[in-house]
Chains A and B, each alone.
Chain A
Amino acid sequence: MTTAAPSSPATSGEPLSTIRVAGLSVRHRRTLALDSVDLDFGPGVHGLLGPNGAGKTSLIRVLATVAAPTDGRVELLGDDVRDHRRRAAVRRRLGYLPQEFGYYPGFTVREFVAYVAWLKEMPAADTPAAVERAVARVGLADRVDAKVKTLSGGMVRRVGIAQAIVNDPDVLLFDEPTAGLDPEQRVEFRELLRELGTSSTVIVSTHLVEDVAAACTEVTLIESGHVAYRGTPESLTALGEAAGGVGDNPIERGYTAALRTHRASPAPALAVEGTAR
């Protein structure tokens, strides 16, 4: 288990990584949620797939600097987040949509998003315009002064997306963002994802394989605390066609095929290094 991997500066030719994770382990009481995971992410939209309890949320929470890793090194935007001064600087450039989040019952959409902007220490002068923009980007401009508690589940989730993007973050972490969105909203959200991915590093944890196929530039499959597969949606689809997993469409077959391969493999860590870019 690597405790303090030496920080290797990005070698020339390699795309600049905004997120670097080395030897990351997260333990919840007795269960090991993540087991010595090494991952790099650059700008683009990265799909994080895996069964329930695979460690997706644990990874996202560590990257969001909400949970502390048990072991290993996490570098966001070039800064080690163990240093609390640097962590504050990183957090200003971070957007995070938790799988579940609450809100203050009296808040309107505008107040909710502005409150998070305030927590993110955005300049007060820029906040109102940034809030309007974020709310408009998730299509809630006509509900900006509605109380959050009067909104439907899908709309609340979009409010959550709005608070995550209000500071135009460089690193965006979405945990199950499409849960509760209807098909049309999901299509719109994928469009937003692609747009965000042009400038930011976006990590989307999801169960919905088709979301990954439609919106992501890269796929990372996590299974019981290990990285089971890394590649593009196309390569996962190709794997599904070649290996013939179970599923209704090629990428679903790729997903199940990759999972099976990983489960059958005695040394998962080697497979990871083979496919990581």
Chain B
Amino acid sequence: MTGWHASDDLVTRYGDGTLPEPDAWSLEKHLESCGHCAARVSHAVRTTPAGVVLAEVRGAVLGAAPAPAPAPAPTGAGVAVGAGEVPAGAAGVAVGAGEVPAGAAPGAVPARTAPRPSLPSTRARIWSSRYLGRPSPVPRLTRVLWAAGPAVRGAWLPAVLLVAVGAVVLAYGAGFAGTRPLLLAVAPLVPVVGVALSYGAHADPLHEIAASTPAAGLRLVLTRTVAVLAVSLPLLTLAGLLVPSSGAPGAAAWLLPGLALTLASLALAGYVGCRTATAVTGGGWLCAVLVPALAAPGGRLTARLSEQLSYCLDGAPAQGGWAAAAVLCAVLLAARRPAYDRLERP
């Protein structure tokens, strides 16, 4: 500590509560390491009306304490901080009388810290609280959830379940025949939406912090996309298997398009950001499937949708095309790795 000590004026003004807050804080900091000044401040406070209350508290505590109390008197540390625990008197001014170092406390009675039972001393030395026991390891399941990202943890997962369960309910509960084509039309959008909700400032509350870590960029995007696919592919395919076919392509026919659209979203995200990219690919899919079905003349809408889906999904050429698109997008992704580091332009 330097040779600085509190002036008499400072001590007096602290005691009567006229010292401005910042100066009081600074003085209290000094008191933590200077027993001499702590004793002077303590003396000054005891001459104020608060001193009477403090003396009463001190008497009551010492009276209640077991007679032989060999605990050593605490040194300067913690002298000023107990202020919040003193019941009355000038607010923020009082110094816990029981904690004043020896010299201020006459007689051989050891000074004991005296928190009142009803007021736990949570405020004392907030920042320097000590280690609490052994560190507990993070369970493996938690790590998997971390990898899953915001989409799978957040509102997206219930949405996927709703689509899957809704399809089954619609088919059997309401007896709606066109469930399979409807599901096939919606299913490829689900992972795309999942990707949109996985990465970027708009989707991830932790993005600003995550973006400064080595995990940021393609690695995190891919980890989260895998989680999105791992949830949506089996769930929606299972739902598709459960509902009657009603002339639409097979339940698994959407898998390659779904994958291709997801990869296309990621590839595009390297140029225009996650949100725009998913809007383009998702919107593109809807246009390709719904618009011709709506525009085509004759027949029920579900029948036309089935026909359009068959055209997009059925047969080796269609599926081969989707597979080729998926591979192409994967190659583009790998080639443009660095672009994913900063999807948000300043």
Given the contacts A70-B346, A141-B132, A98 and B137 also touching, CB distance less than 8 Å: no
Residues of B within 8 A of A160 (CB): 209
Question: B124-145 CB contact bits vs A (8 Å, 1 = yes)?
Answer: 0111111110011110001100
Residues of A within 8 A of B21 (CB): 183
> Which of B25, B142, B205, B341 sits near A187, CB closer than 8 Å?
B25
Is the Cβ of B127 less than 8 Å from the Cβ of A139?
Answer: yes
Is B214 at the interface (CB under 8 A from chain A)?
A: yes
Stretch in A14-22, A117-125, A261-269 touching the partner = A117-125
Residues of B within 8 A of A88 (CB): 214
> Which of A26, A94, A102, A144 sits near B205, CB closer than 8 Å?
A102
Q: How many A-B residue pairs have CB under 8 A?
A: 139
Is the Cβ of A58 less than 8 Å from the Cβ of B129?
Answer: no
Residue of B nearest to A26 (CB): B346
Residues of B within 8 A of A69 (CB): 346
Is the Cβ of B206 less than 8 Å from the Cβ of A102?
Answer: yes
Residue of A nearest to B218 (CB): A84
Question: A82-94 CB contact bits vs B (8 Å, 1 = yes)?
Answer: 0010011101101
Distance, CA A244 to CA B337, complexed state (A) = 54
Residues in B9-53 with C-beta less than 8 Å from chain A: 21-22, 25-26, 29
Stretch in A3-11, A129-137, A221-229 touching the partner = A129-137
- Smallest beta-carbon distance A53→chain B, Å: 15
- Smallest beta-carbon distance B272→chain A, Å: 15
> Which of A102, A116, A141 sits near B213, CB closer than 8 Å?
A116
Question: A40-70 CB contact bits vs B (8 Å, 1 = yes)?
Answer: 0000000000000000001001101111111
Is the Cβ of B342 less than 8 Å from the Cβ of A66?
Answer: yes
Is B69 at the interface (CB under 8 A from chain A)?
A: no
Interface of A is mostly: helix
Residue of B nearest to A158 (CB): B127
Distance, CA A187 to CA B125, complexed state (A) = 11
Distance, CA A206 to CA B128, complexed state (A) = 23
Is the Cβ of B138 less than 8 Å from the Cβ of A127?
Answer: yes
Is the Cβ of B206 less than 8 Å from the Cβ of A68?
Answer: no
- Smallest beta-carbon distance B252→chain A, Å: 33
Is the Cβ of A119 less than 8 Å from the Cβ of B25?
Answer: no
Q: Residues of A within 8 Å of B, CB-based: how many?
A: 63
Is A96 at the interface (CB under 8 A from chain B)?
A: yes
Is B208 at the interface (CB under 8 A from chain A)?
A: yes
Residues of B within 8 A of A210 (CB): 22
Given the contacts A91-B216, A102-B205, A121-B214, A84 and B135 also touching, CB distance less than 8 Å: no
Is B338 at the interface (CB under 8 A from chain A)?
A: yes
Distance, CA A118 to CA B220, complexed state (A) = 11
Is the Cβ of A84 less than 8 Å from the Cβ of B341?
Answer: yes
Distance, CA A141 to CA B131, complexed state (A) = 6
Is B150 at the interface (CB under 8 A from chain A)?
A: yes
Residues in A228-261 with C-beta less than 8 Å from chain B: none
Is B146 at the interface (CB under 8 A from chain A)?
A: yes
> Which of B128, B135, B216 sits near A188, CB closer than 8 Å?
B128
Given the contacts A98-B209, A128-B137, A183-B25, A67 and B346 also touching, CB distance less than 8 Å: yes
Is the Cβ of B22 less than 8 Å from the Cβ of A183?
Answer: yes
Is B114 at the interface (CB under 8 A from chain A)?
A: no
> Which of B129, B130, B138, B207 sits near A114, CB closer than 8 Å?
B138
Is A74 at the interface (CB under 8 A from chain B)?
A: no
Distance, CA A187 to CA B128, complexed state (A) = 12
Is B215 at the interface (CB under 8 A from chain A)?
A: yes
- Smallest beta-carbon distance B143→chain A, Å: 7
Is the Cβ of A119 less than 8 Å from the Cβ of B215?
Answer: yes
Is B276 at the interface (CB under 8 A from chain A)?
A: no
Given the contacts A84-B338, A183-B21, A98 and B208 also touching, CB distance less than 8 Å: yes
- Smallest beta-carbon distance A150→chain B, Å: 15
Residue from A58, A139, A160 whose CB has the most chain B CB atoms within 10 Å? A139
Given the contacts A87-B341, A104-B206, A184-B25, A192 and B127 also touching, CB distance less than 8 Å: yes
Is the Cβ of B153 less than 8 Å from the Cβ of A136?
Answer: no
Distance, CA A33 to CA B346, complexed state (A) = 10
Is B240 at the interface (CB under 8 A from chain A)?
A: no
Is B169 at the interface (CB under 8 A from chain A)?
A: no
- Smallest beta-carbon distance A203→chain B, Å: 13
> Which of A89, A104, A132, A133 sits near B150, CB closer than 8 Å?
A104
Residues of B within 8 A of A128 (CB): 135-138
Q: What are 7 A-B contacts with C-beta separation under 8 Å?
A: A64-B212, A69-B346, A132-B132, A136-B129, A187-B29, A188-B128, A210-B22
User: Which residues on B are within 8 Å of A, measured CB to CB?
Assistant: 21-22, 25-26, 29, 81, 122, 125-132, 135-138, 142-143, 146, 150, 153, 204-217, 220, 337-338, 341-342, 344-346
Given A92-B214, A102-B208: 8 more A-B contacts, CB < 8 Å:
A91-B216, A102-B207, A116-B213, A119-B216, A121-B215, A138-B127, A141-B129, A141-B130
Going nearest first, the 7 A-B pairs with the smallest beta carbon separation are A102-B205, A188-B127, A139-B127, A128-B135, A67-B346, A119-B213, A84-B338
